[in-house]
């Protein structure tokens, strides 16, 4: 069980810290003689290590134990030379612990701790050290505490800045993932809804005169709805794959240019015939480029179905050693885009996809009528 060792460790650390003044007192009261005097300094140094273990768990408590215990024992020192050396060692250790408090605790705690450290050190120097140049000694003590606090506070601020940067990077990653999911949902749902709307309209018009055609339209609506519902379900499952209480969910392969034939079939069911032309080599593309290329064609065809007012369009895909070029054109009387400016995200989504891949995107009416969408995506070296 992990909890009992933690409690035992805490008791041992506190016990060692509270034994510090007794160990220091035993050190300075060693019997006189050469051996005793030689052992006093190293034993005193070892005694000063006892509060450091507590300082790792509770920096402020470790500093207070050092100041309180050290001050109480130093008043009992009889040897003036040994007392001055011991005061110097306590001052150095206390400065380090004050800096540690500043590095691990907020300023509302570290500033009073640094001030208390400076006051205690000054009193020790004046009452026990019996210094001659009081202003100089007090200035050195004050500068030592200030330097330790500034270094510790700088470390704390740097850590906080690094943590803030990590949080911002995580937030940006989450936002980018949300935008990607939004684009995927828009491209998938918009195309499916456009096909369903056209099929429903056609079925409504011919249900009395051509029942067979109406049944075919309803069957196409059913198939498209099922496919879209399944795709949405897979996407929602993938969104939960990071849940700590569940195993990673399997992800279906993302669509790519190899799925354009299925897109042609669905568009034909919606009443728009696609003349697909592919030129150049068909080397495997990176997944992000392959998916983006498919979504660009899908969104362009969706705009033709919904806004162009024509029964056919041309889709050209050319891949060479340096770039992938996509062109979708129609000759319908419509605009190929939503009639109300800003009412659709299709063109914006396509432009963002191409921009993220470092390519160029163009769209607009054709001189002879209709609409044209063109995208050029550079290919990485590995696909050349």
Q: Where are the domains of the chain?
A: 7-130, 257-335+344-378
Angle at 297 between CA 293 and CA 299, to 5 degrees: 115
Percent of the chain with pLDDT over 70: 68
Q: Per-residue pLDDT for 342 more than 60?
A: no
Check if the beta carbon of residue 94 is closer than 8 Å to that of residue 117.
yes
34 pLDDT exceeds 60? no
SS3 label, residue 194: helix
CATH of 257-335+344-378, one of 3.90.550.10, 3.10.20.90, 3.20.20.80, 3.30.565.10: 3.30.565.10
Prediction pTM value: 0.48
List Cα–Cα distances, 165 to 102, 171, 172, in angstroms. 21, 10, 10
Q: Is the pLDDT of residue 240 over 50?
A: yes
Q: Which residue has 């209709």 as its token pair?
A: 370
pLDDT at 326 over 90: yes
pLDDT at residue 248 in the model: 46
pLDDT recorded at residue 303: 85
Q: Alpha-carbon dihedral of residues 108, 110, 114, 115, nearest 10 degrees?
A: 10
Among the ranges given (40-54, 59-73, 309-323, 348-362), the one the predictor scored with the smallest mean pLDDT? 40-54
- Mean confidence (pLDDT) of the chain: 76
Pull the structure tokens for residue 183.
């684009």
In this predicted structure, the answer to whether residue 61 has a pLDDT above a threshold of 50 is yes
Query: In the chain, what percentage of residues exceed pLDDT 90?
Result: 11
Looking at residues 305-324, what average pLDDT do you find?
A: 86
Alpha carbon separation from 142 to 38, 114, 240 (Å, rounded): 31, 9, 56
Which has more pLDDT, 157 or 230?
157
When pLDDT is cut at 50, 70 and 90, the band that residue 353 belongs to is confident
26 membership: H or E segment, kind and range: helix 20-28
Residue 146, pLDDT score? 93
Dig out the tokens for 208 from the structure: 């009395």
């Amino acid at each position: 069980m992990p909890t009992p060792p933690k409690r035992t460790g805490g008791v041992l650390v506190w016990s060692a810290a509270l034994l510090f003044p007794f160990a220091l007192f035993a050190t300075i009261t060693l019997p006189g003689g050469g051996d005793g005097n030689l052992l006093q300094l190293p034993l005193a140094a070892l005694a000063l290590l006892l509060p450091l273990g507590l300082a790792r768990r509770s920096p402020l408590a470790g500093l207070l134990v050092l100041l309180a215990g050290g001050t109480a024992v130093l008043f009992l020192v009889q040897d003036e030379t040994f007392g001055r050396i011991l005061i110097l060692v306590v001052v150095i250790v206390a400065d380090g612990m004050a800096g540690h408090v500043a590095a691990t605790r907020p300023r509302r705690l570290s500033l009073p701790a640094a001030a208390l450290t400076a006051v205690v050190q000054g009193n020790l120097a004046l009452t026990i050290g019996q210094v001659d140049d009081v202003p100089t000694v007090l200035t050195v003590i004050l500068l030592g505490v200030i330097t330790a606090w500034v270094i510790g506070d700088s470390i704390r601020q740097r850590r906080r800045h690094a943590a803030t940067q990590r949080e911002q990077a995580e937030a940006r990653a989450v936002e980018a993932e949300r935008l990607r999911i939004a684009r995927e949902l828009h491209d998938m749902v918009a195309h499916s809804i456009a096909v369903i709307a056209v099929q429903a309209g056609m079925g409504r018009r011919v249900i009395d005169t051509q029942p067979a055609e109406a049944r075919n339209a309803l069957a196409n609506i059913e198939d498209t709805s099922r496919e879209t519902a399944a795709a949405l379900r897979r996407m929602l499952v993938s969104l939960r794959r990071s849940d700590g209480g569940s195993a990673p969910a399997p992800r279906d392969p993302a669509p790519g240019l190899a799925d354009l034939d299925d897109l042609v079939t669905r568009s034909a069911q919606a009443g728009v015939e696609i003349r697909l032309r592919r030129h150049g080599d068909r080397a495997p593309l990176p997944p992000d480029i392959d998916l983006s290329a498919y979504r660009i064609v899908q969104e362009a065809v969706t705009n033709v179905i919904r806004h162009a007012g024509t029964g056919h369009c041309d889709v050209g895909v050319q891949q060479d050693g340096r770039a992938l070029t996509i062109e979708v054109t129609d000759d319908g009387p419509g605009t190929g885009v939503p009639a109300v400016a800003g009412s659709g995200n299709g063109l914006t989504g396509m432009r963002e996809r191409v921009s993220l891949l470092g390519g160029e995107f163009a769209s607009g009416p054709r001189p002879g009528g209709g609409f044209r969408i063109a995208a050029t995506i550079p290919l990485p070296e590995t696909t050349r």
